[in-house]
Structure 1
Amino acid sequence: MSRHIVKPSKGRLLIAEPSILTDQSFNRTIILLTEHSDDSSVGFIMNRPLHYSLRDLVPDIDCDFTVYHGGPVEQDNLYFIHQVPELLPNSIEVNDGIYWGGNFDCLKELLNTHQIQPNDIRFFLGYSGWGSQQLEDELRTNSWFVSKNKYPNIFNIKDESYWKDQLLEKGGEYQLWANAPSDVQLN
């Protein structure tokens, strides 16, 4: 599958190539890059909801927002991205109104008083990370393709169709893979 390689950067999406369908960690994933430099890259899988709510993991937060699998690194840690920096001090801007982290005590209070809505924030266990040049190597070996985030609100995306929609938009051979069963050996 030949293609023009778009450079990764903060706020862009990594879309798993069909060539990694057997990779259980990243099969059919879409990752929002929250950091990208010569030294490392960090991102969160946007389309892997877990069977946990925030309340299950942090009992003193009265909130049933879904928690997502962010990636295979530090899966015991909770991370979050959001679009309400005016409410959360110490947030780090990723790109285009998307922010990473912030004051957790303040966040707990906002969640307990229902001042943050599910379409404002997403929580993750773990993250996806790459060392120096590792992501570039994976791009060269067709593990990922990079796309701009074209969604007006990335937190509203339907999880089950996210990857398929990206492939259909790319067109060509990708349209065939978009409709392939999740276990291609069953085909």
Structure 2
Amino acid sequence: MDQPLLTGLLLVATPVLEDPNFRRSVVLVVDDNTDEGTVGVIVNRPSETAVSDVLSGWGGFASDPAVMFAGGPVGTEAGLALGVPASSKDAPLGWRPLERLGEESQVSGLGVVDLETPPEVLGGGLEALRVFAGYAGWGTEQLRAEIDEGAWYVLPATDADVFSAEPENLWSRVLRRQGGDLALVSTFPEDPRLN
């Protein structure tokens, strides 16, 4: 049986996921290819380093907070950027949409930004921009095994999740809006031993 592709969806760490790289993380799946594995970025880990300190010319286009985000433990010396075009009619040069089952992501207009494109060419064509240092990666079937083990909730994403001005509280907010049992999970204490 074919598994549905996860591109454009969120992976929200369950409270049982203790790996410090992913504890209480919210990961947007950027590319899910069942033959090659899965790539995502953690969208709730801002750093203290301004985008402008790392990528000349891009700082003025970055969404608040305009800092680099720790996208994951893999390739931390490389940058990956996500953006939403200012116009839904014309895709700006240097931007490509996330694709899910041959269609655009459920996240309205979200795509990958080529940081090699001069910022003066692409930057003004973006409504939102987030830059990540590193990414999260899983080998073929590795992520599905983690989901089956109960390490991740797979949930729909919104633009507000990816470009949140308050990313530190995103884990609780995403769970709370699901209602039911997941809303209850959103109140799970950081350290249950202190409860």
TM bucket (normalised to shorter chain) is 0.7 to 0.9
Query: Displacement of 1:104 after TM fit?
Result: 2.0
Unaligned runs of 5+ in 2: 61-65, 99-104
Q: Which residue of 2 aligns with 1:70?
A: 71
Q: Which residue of 1 aligns with 2:102?
A: none
Q: If the length of structure 1 is used for normalisation, what is the TM-score? A: 0.81
The answer to whether the aligner puts 1:18 opposite 2:26 as a matched pair is no
Q: Which residue of 2 aligns with 1:100?
A: 112
Query: Displacement of 1:55 after TM fit?
Result: 1.7
CA offsets 1:92-118 (integer angstroms, 9 cap, x no match): 21123111122523226655xxx367x
Q: Distance in 2 between matches of 1:57 and 1:31?
A: 22
Identity of aligned residues (%): 26
Cα RMSD of the aligned pairs, angstroms, is 2.6
Q: Which residue of 2 aligns with 1:3?
A: none
Assess, with a 3 A threshold, how the Cα gap between structure 1 residues 93 and 109 changes in structure 2: closer, same or farther: closer
Q: Distance in 2 between matches of 1:90 and 1:110?
A: 7
Aligned with residue 144 of structure 2, among 136, 141, 163:
136
Q: Distance in 1 between matches of 2:20 and 2:168?
A: 16
Query: Displacement of 1:184 after TM fit?
Result: 2.7
More strand by share: 2
What is the SS of the residue equivalent to 1:25? coil
After TM superposition, the structure 1 = structure 2 runs for residues 22-171 of structure 1, keeping only pairs within 5 Å, are 22-38=18-34, 39-58=36-55, 60-61=56-57, 63=59, 65-84=66-85, 86=90, 88-94=92-98, 95=105, 96-102=108-114, 104-107=116-119, 111=123, 115=124, 120-151=128-159, 154-156=162-164, 158-171=166-179
Q: Distance in 2 between matches of 1:62 and 1:141?
A: 40
Q: Distance in 1 between matches of 2:132 and 2:159?
A: 19
Number of aligned residue pairs: 176
CA offsets 1:127-172 (integer angstroms, 9 cap, x no match): 0111100111011001111111244674245312211122223344
Are the equivalent residues in 2 in contact too, given 1:12–1:32 (CA < 8 A)?
yes
What is the SS of the residue equivalent to 1:81? strand
Paired amino acid for 1:56: D
Q: Distance in 1 between matches of 2:49 and 2:120?
A: 17
Q: If the length of structure 2 is used for normalisation, what is the TM-score? A: 0.78
Are the equivalent residues in 1 in contact too, given 2:76–2:133 (CA < 8 A)?
yes
CA offsets 1:18-75 (integer angstroms, 9 cap, x no match): 111x2211111111111011121111111110111112223x3372621111011000
Assess, with a 3 A threshold, how the Cα gap between structure 1 residues 54 and 47 changes in structure 2: closer, same or farther: same
Q: Which runs of 4+ in 1 moved over 4 A?
A: 85-88, 108-111
Are the equivalent residues in 1 in contact too, given 2:15–2:188 (CA < 8 A)?
no
